[in-house]
Structure 1
Amino acid sequence: MESPKSPSRKCFEGNIYIRTPLVESIELRKYCAGRQVYLKMENCQPSGSFKLRGISNLCKYAVSNGFTEVVCPSDGDAGLATAFSAMKMEIPCHIIVGQKTPMVVCDAMRSYGATLERYGDTWEEANKHAIETITNTKTAFLVHPFDHLAVWQGHSTIIDEIVEDLDGQVPSIIVTSCGGGGLICGLVQGIRRHGWEKRTKILAIETEGTHSFNLCVKAGGKRVRLNEISSIVHTLGAYEVCEQVVQYFRECNPPILSRLVNDAEAAEACIRFANDHRCLVGLGSATTMASVYTGIVERILTKNEDLHETLYDQRDEQEMNETEGPIVILVCGGGEVNLNIIEENRKLFNLHKI
């Protein structure tokens, strides 16, 4: 899909994303075997999520290679990040959203100057339409939400900031949600760049019903397609993760662990995190919090997991230097969240009030 090579305008200088805080959470220590816990607050990004790091880097890549407009198939954070990046770079942006994309997300994209088109019920349908949309133009660049080297490189800057803020401490586990795998690819690249690959594990959390990476793990590191997306956590809904994240899993350098939570646990985590830390996160980010609140992280730390949880883990215990380092939890963000949505999910799962 890429063809122009002569830049038609000067590429945007400087970062579109911001450096986000790394905040210690006293509240979550009791769920993590007493370890220090730090929250990397990617929900503070101007577009609402970590996606701005990788997507802005990809948009800059597009402009530097001669493209003058961007098209992105996305129901949420990738579209918001693309629209925000295009606004800052002063280039046209067209977002193809699904028929069920919430109005709060669509309104935010429009506020950044993007044009919107509703098409299909799944991301794959929107992506196919996006490819067709740019077929007859040489000026439009297709912004893939997670499968591009520039995206991974952008996401890897999260690790650069964590390294500086921890000032010599090395985390034992970095906990993150997993959709298409782009964020994890960036984390792996950053971890390797700073030599943490034998001291830090990545814990990838999905929901039951968006578990495309978990399927690959259970297949022994083979790329497997999810039959259907049955979870309400649509922001993590990729039928297939990118091939690169599966390769990184096989390499086990750093080890990538895969665990699942259910929709109700993610919805409850939204409420508990809001009460504990006075900020809102979307369901996709809340899957990460759910792994803490439900005891997944603590069981890993205390080596108290059941066999069915650890059966498919790839690890080299002789080479891995187990540390007592802190836990870093990525608060990935979520531009699709507001109080009304949290309340709707609370009622759906009959949870306690906010």
Structure 2
Amino acid sequence: MTLHIQTPLIESRPLSLASGCTVWLKLEAVQPCGSFKLRGVGHACEVHHARGARHFVSSSGGNAGLAVAYAGRKLGVPVTVVVPETTTERAKQLLRLEGAKVVVHGSSWQEANELAQTLLGSGDAFIHPFDDPLLWAGHASLIDEVAATGLKPDAVVLSVGGGGLLSGVVEGLTRNGWDDVPVLAVETTGAASLHAAVQAGHPVELERLASVATSLGAKRVADQALECARNHPLHNHLVSDRAALEACERFLLDHRVLVEPACGAALAVAYEAKKLAEYNNVLIVVCGGATATLAQIQDWLKQVD
């Protein structure tokens, strides 16, 4: 019995018509805490719990922290989540709803993470939001579920923040013998840490993050994500904040599911006319996100270019 659930895999008629190919959606937005993060985080928490951890500490602006809080509540382990000052009130409210202690510190995830490291005592386990092999192994289960249906996609589209989802999906593709399936890794232009690393040939730290897709807000991508870019067929795509936000609105209309701009980035590639037309069957990871509201998305749309 896992903490995450097996999520639906559905064909999207609206996205198929928009993109010129058959689009399949892996609906991670319906995980109990709202995002794919529960796969890897839940796996990591279960492993640490089995090893005797009595307290989970995490640093997260939202979804990873929510997954740790949910896992901790289900396992009966107290949780502390350090969030940056940019974290929305809704995200903090959801964390407290799961019973987590919320500490606000710093202007970015990096600063929140530095404080989180100082809070660790004996018997505590640190749950990283994206850079941990335990997370990647858990996220890989997403591809196992797709493989079990008999569908082999011609490409997988996903959003990239710190690179945890990318690393997990590539691990899942490899362990199912799908090394030939390319990954289309999508970032917003203001949070493109993978793109910067690929261009430079090594991980680089962005000077600043300038995107409403705060769940993609890692200034430096995980080393493993760059390894995936080097060793697996990968195409990097950049979309604007506006495209990501408009994709969120369209997806809500098309599928009655509200997702964050970070997820909207991946959906935007499919909504852009014929971007995926060279493929027959495309899998999009609808990674979800629990912290966005429709009012917030509409407000952001008024502010972006």
> Which residue pairs with 2:227 in the alignment?
247
Q: Give the whole-Å Cα distance in 2 for the aligned partners of 1:299 and 1:174.
A: 13
CA deviation profile, 1:64-117 (whole Å, cap 9, x unmatched): 222111011111100100000000000000011111211111111111110111
2:282 aligns with one of 323, 327, 331: 327
The answer to whether the aligner puts 1:285 opposite 2:263 as a matched pair is: yes
Listed as ranges, the gaps of 5+ residues in structure 1 are: 1-13, 303-323
CA contact (8 A) 1:170 1:325 kept: no
Show the counterpart of 2:128. 144
Taking structure 1 as the reference length, the TM-score comes to 0.84
1:170 partner letter: K
- Supply the AA of the counterpart residue of 2:7: T
Q: Partners in 2 of 1:339 and 1:215 — Cα distance? A: 31
Structure with the largest fraction of helix: 2
SS at match of 1:334: coil
1:93-143 CA-partner distances (Å, limit 9, x unpaired):
001111121111111111111011111110000000001111xx1111111
Shift, 1:279, TM fit? 1.4
Aligned to 2:214: 234
Work out the CA distance in 2 between the residues paired with 1:300 and 1:331. Answer: 16
Matched, 1:129 2:115: yes
Q: Distance in 2 between matches of 1:278 and 1:348?
A: 24
Does 1:346 find its partner at 2:301? yes
Deviations 1:161-191 (A, max 9, x none): 11122x2x32111100000111111111110
Shift of 1:259: 0.6
CA contact (8 A) 2:269 2:275 kept: no
Structure 2, unaligned stretches of length 5 or more? none
1:301 positional shift: 3.8
Could you tell me how far 1:231 is from its partner in structure 2? 1.2
1:25 is aligned to: 12
Partner letter of residue 250 of structure 2?
R
Q: Residues 279, 146 of structure 1: CA spacing in aligned structure 2 closer, same or farther, 3 A cutoff?
A: same
Could you tell me how far apart the structure 1 residues matched to 2:187 and 2:51 are? 35
Counterpart pick for 1:271 among 249, 262, 267: 249
Residue among 25, 41, 46 paired with 1:60: 46
- Tell me whether 102-111 or 45-54 shows the greater mean CA deviation: 102-111
Q: Deviations over 1:294-351 (max 9, x none)?
A: 24xx33543xxxxxxxxxxxxxxxxxxxxx541111110011112221221233248x
- Please state whether the residue corresponding to 1:30 is helix, strand or coil: helix
Aligned to 1:103: 89
Structure 2 match to 1:117: 103
C-alpha contact 2:86 2:108 (8 A) present in aligned 1: no
In structure 1, the residue matched to 2:159 is 177
Change (3 A) 1:216 1:300: farther
Q: What residue is the counterpart of 1:299 in the other structure?
A: 275
Q: Larger deviation: 79-88 or 240-249?
A: 240-249
Instruction: State whether residues 172 and 326 of structure 1, in contact with CA within 8 Å, keep that contact through their aligned partners in structure 2.
Output: yes
* Identical aligned residues as a percent: 36
TM-score, with normalisation over the residues of structure 2? 0.97
Tell which structure's C-alpha radius of gyration is larger: 1
SS of the residue corresponding to residue 191 of structure 2 reads coil
Aligned alpha-carbon RMSD (Å)? 1.3
Distance (whole Å) between structure 2 residues aligned to residue 21 and residue 73 of structure 1? 29
SS, match of residue 80 in structure 2: strand
Q: Which amino acid aligns with 2:97?
A: S
Aligned equivalents of 1:338, 1:232: Cα separation in 2:
13
Q: Which residue of 1 aligns with 2:197?
A: 216
Residue 37 (str. 1) matches residue 23 (str. 2): yes
